[in-house]
Amino acid sequence: MPDRRSFVRLAAGASAASLLPACRDEPTGPRWQASAAVKSERSEVAVLSATYESDLGDVIRRGIELMGLDVRGLRVVLKPNFVEFDPDGVINTHPAVVHGTIEALRLLGAASVVVAEGAGHRRDTEYLLRETGIGFALRDTRTRFIDLNHDAVRRTPLLGQYTPLGSLYLPDTVLGADLLISLPKLKTHHWAGVTLSMKNMFGIVPGSHYGWPKNVLHWAGISESILDINATLTSLRRFAIVDGIVGMEGNGPIQGEARPVGALIFGADPVAVDATGCRLMRIDPAKIDYIADASRFLGNLHADRIDQRGEAIADLSQDFAVIDPFASAKQAAEVTGS
Amino acid sequence: MTQTRRPTADLVAALRARRNEDGGFGPYFGRPSTTESTAWAGVALSAEGDTESADAAIDWLLDRQLASGAWPHSFEAPEPSWMTSAAILALSDVPRAREAVAHGSRWLLRQRARTFPLLTRVFYRFWPDHVQVRLDPELRAWPWTDGTFSWCEPTAMAMLALERVDPRLVPGTVQFRVREGERLLLDRVCTGGGWNYGNSWVLGEDLWPYPDTTALALLALRGRPEDPRVAESLDALQTMLEDHESSLSLSLGVLCLDAFGIDATSYRERLDALWQGESFEATTRAVALSALALRGTDNPFRRIAADA
C-alpha cells in the first residue's frame, strides 16, 4: 500500500495540468535515436554576473565570445520565455536580456536575428508582447517576431522515444535556423522541478495545433516530452543564454517569488547549462528526472565534466525554495554538493 | 447601447489584404491559410458586405472538410482539428453549407475529452482536500486535441457552434453535450469570476482569469444569466478589460458584452483607438473580431442570443 504522499501523487498526478507520470520505468535500452546521442567528453559553461542595468549587450557579447561561439553569417532564432504575464511577477525572460542578446549577435556578425515564441498559456500574443516589454525591445532593435503558435509547420519525427508521440508538428522558423538560441528564465517548476534551456523548448510546439496549454505534452509526460523535443533538436546547432539575473523560486513557473541571483549562464550543451542553472539555485540536477536522463545522451551533468568559466557558482548561488515534491533535490544538494 | 458604425477602412483593408491566392486566410499576413483564420475572416468580410471575399472563404472551407465531417487545421496538417467549431460557426448561415454543417456537427458531438483514470477520480471524490488541481473530473467536454483533457476555449467554441445548427440535423445528444459543457465551464470558473485556460486552482494557488477566454465562456453560458458565477464573471470581464490593451481581448470583450446587452461603448472606443494607433501585429482572428466588434451590428454572438 503506498504511503499518503505516494498515493496523492499517484492519484492526483494524472491531473489536467500535469499528468506527471506516477512511476518512471527504468529504460531497458536507449530511448533516443543514435543521431541524438551528441554528448561529448567535456562541456563548457560560462557564468557572468550582471544586472538589468548593466550594458547587457556587452556582457552577452563577452559570454558568447568566452564560449567561442562564432555567429558570423548565421540566421539566428532567439527563443525567449514569455508564457504568461503578471505585473508583480518575474515570469518571463527580461526584455533587457532579449535586447542585449540581439545587440550582441548583430555586433558579432549574425546574418539575421529573429525572436520567436509560442506562449503556452495565453493565445493573446499581442497582449504578451506589449505587457512583457519584449515587443518594445523588438521595436527598438527593429527585430522581427515570429509567433510560433501560428508558424508554418512540418510534421517532424521525434528522435527520442520517451513519449509515445512519435512525431510533432514543429515550426519552420525553428527547423530552418542556422542557430537556435534558447533564452529562458532561471526558474523552479512545480511539475518538472526546474525550467531552464531544455524546458523552454516547450514553447516551440505550436499552440494552434496542440492548444493552450499544450496538453498533449502533459499527457505524454512533461519530463518525457522535454527529452523527446530536445533529442529532436540535436539536428540543429544550439546555444543557450539563461536569464538568471532575477530568477523565480517556489511555485514556479508562474506563481513563484522573485529571487535575485545576478547571473547569466552561457553554453552550447543544454544539459550542462541546465545543470549549472540548478547549482545556482542549489538544486541537485541529478535529482531532476529529465536532466538526469538527458545526461545519458544529450550532454554533461556532472560538475567534473563541465569546464566552468567566468564567476564561481559558489559566489552567486542562492538557496531557492522548491515545493514539496522536489524537497529531496534540495536536501541532496546540501548534503552532496553535486 | 450598441452603436452602429463602420470599422476603420484600414482595418477592413488589412483583413482583406491577408487573403491568400487559395481564397483562405492565414493567421498572419502571408502565412498559409488555416481553417480558423479563414472562418473568422469570412464572417467579418460577410458582415462588411464583401461577398466576393466571403464566398471565397466559404469555398475554401467547403473544399477542405474531411470525410469524417471535421475540418483540419490547414493543408499542411490534415488531421481533424478543434478548428471545426469555427468552421461550423462561419458556415451556419450559408444555405449551400447546410449538409456540411450538419456533418461537421456530428463529428463535433463525437469529440469528447479524456479524463482521469478511475483511481484518480475516486481520489478526487473522497479526498478533495489533497488534490493538485481542483476540478470535477467526471465532467468531459471538448479538448484541443483528440485524447486530451477538456479546456475552456474549445468547449465554449463547440457549444457556440452546436447552438447554430438546426437541431433536426444532429443527434439528440446535442442537448446533453451542451449541458455538460455548461457544467464544466461553471466548474472551472476562477475565484472572483472569469476563466483561465481551463483550471481555476492548482497546487494551492488560485489562477487568474483571462479576458479572451472569459468572454468566450460567457458567450457560451449566456443562456444561464441567473447563475451568480455568470454575473460575477461579467463583472470580472469588465474589470480585466480596463487594463487590457489588445485587439483580441477588447474585441471579444465587446462582442460578449453586446450579447449580454451591456454597454460596451468605452471598450469599443478603446479598441478603435488601438487600431488608429501603432500596435503589435494581431492575428487574423483578432483583426476579424475587431472588425465585427467595431461595427456594433452583425455581431454573430448577439444574433445567436436573439435566436436562443
Q: What is the mean pLDDT of residues A136-144?
A: 97
DSSP A174-224: HHT-SEEEEE-EEEEETTTEEESTTGGGGGGS-HHHHTTTTHHHHHH-HHH
Q: CB A153 to CB B147 under 8 A?
A: no
Average the pLDDT over each of A77-86, A181-190, B205-214, B288-297 and give the range with the smallest value: B288-297
ipTM (interface pTM) = 0.94
Chain A residues with CB inside 8 Å of B145's CB? 209-211, 215-216
Degrees, nearest 5: CA angle B160-B162-B165 = 120
CA B135, CA B196: separation in Å to the nearest integer?
A: 13
* Nearest chain A CA: its distance from B230 CA (Å): 22
- pLDDT of A14 reads 39
Question: Cell numbers 488608429 correspond to what residue?
Answer: B276
Q: Which residue of B has its CA nearest to A250?
A: B203
The DSSP annotation for B107-125 comes to HHHH-------HHHHHHHH
Residue A17 has what pLDDT?
Answer: 42
Mutate to test the interface with A, among B127, B197, B242 (most CBs of A within 10 A): B197
Task: Give tens-digit pLDDT for A220-270.
Answer: 999 999 999 999 999 999 999 999 999 999 999 999 999 999 999 999 999
Q: What is the pLDDT of residues B232-262, one digit of tens each?
A: 999 999 999 999 999 999 999 999 999 999 9
Which residues between 236 and 265 in chain A have a beta carbon less than 8 angstroms from any beta carbon of chain B? 251, 255
Mutate to test the interface with A, among B38, B202, B242, B284 (most CBs of A within 10 A): B202
Cα Rg, chain A, nearest whole Å: 18
Instruction: For residues A291-298, give the mean pLDDT.
Output: 98
How, if at all, do strands A153-157 and A167-171 pair? antiparallel
Widest pairwise Cα distance in chain B: 58
The whole-angstrom distance between B269's CA and the closest CA on chain A is 18
Q: How far is A316 from B189, CA to CA, in rounded Å?
A: 42
Asked if pLDDT for residue A153 goes beyond 70, the answer is: yes
Do residues B58 and B42 lie in contact, with contact meaning Cβ atoms separated by under 8 Å? yes
A8 touches B: beta carbon within 8 Å: yes
> How big is the CA angle at B150 (ends B212 and A200), to the nearest 5 degrees?
70
Of A17, A155, A208, the CB nearest to B133: A17
Q: Given the C-alpha cell 445548427, which residue does it identify?
A: B165
Average pLDDT over residues A168-177: 98
Q: Do A251 and B203 touch (CB under 8 A)?
A: yes
pLDDT score, position A56? 98
Say which residue, A1 or A273, is predicted with more confidence.
A273
What nine digits make up the cell of A242?
Answer: 539563461
CB A9 within 8 A of CB A22: yes
| pLDDT given at position B204 | 87
Q: In the numeric block, which cell numbers belong to residue B235?
A: 463583472
Beta carbons of B294 and B268 less than 8 angstroms apart: yes
| Rounded CA Rg of chain B | 19
For chain A, the average pLDDT equals: 91
Contact predicate B87/B102, CB 8 Å: no
Contact B212 A124 (CB under 8 A): yes
Q: What is the 3-state secondary structure (H, E, C) of A116-148?
A: EECCCCCCCHHHHHHHHCHHHHHHHCCCEEEEH
pLDDT single digits (tens) A31-68? 999 999 999 999 999 999 999 999 999 999 999 999 99
Can you tell me which residue has the cell 506516477?
A22
Query: Tell me, what's the pLDDT at B132?
Result: 85
**What pLDDT does B169 receive?**
81
Cα gap A56→A300, rounded to integer Å: 27
Distance of alpha carbon B254 from alpha carbon B286, whole angstroms: 12
Over residues A106-125, the pLDDT tens digits come to 999 999 999 999 999 999 99
Best CA proximity match to A333, nearest among A295, A280, A296: A280
pLDDT at residue B303 in the model: 53
Are the CB atoms for A209 and A153 separated by under 8 Å?
A: yes
Residues 92-131 of A with CB under 8 A from B: 121-127, 129-130
Under DSSP, the state recorded for A78 is E
Cα–Cα dist B308/B306, whole Å: 6
**Ramachandran quadrant class, B23 (left: phi over 0; alpha: psi -120 to 50; beta: rest):** left
Q: How many residues does chain A have?
A: 338
pLDDT tens for chain B, 308 residues long, are 334 445 677 899 999 999 999 999 999 999 999 999 999 999 999 999 999 999 999 999 999 999 999 999 999 999 999 999 999 999 999 999 999 999 999 999 999 999 999 999 999 888 888 888 889 999 999 999 999 999 999 999 999 999 988 888 888 889 999 999 999 999 999 999 999 999 999 888 899 999 999 999 999 999 999 999 999 999 999 999 999 999 999 999 999 999 999 999 999 999 999 998 877 889 999 999 999 999 876 677 765 444 44
Q: Which residue has the cell 540548478?
A: A278
The label of the residue with cell 451542451 reads B178
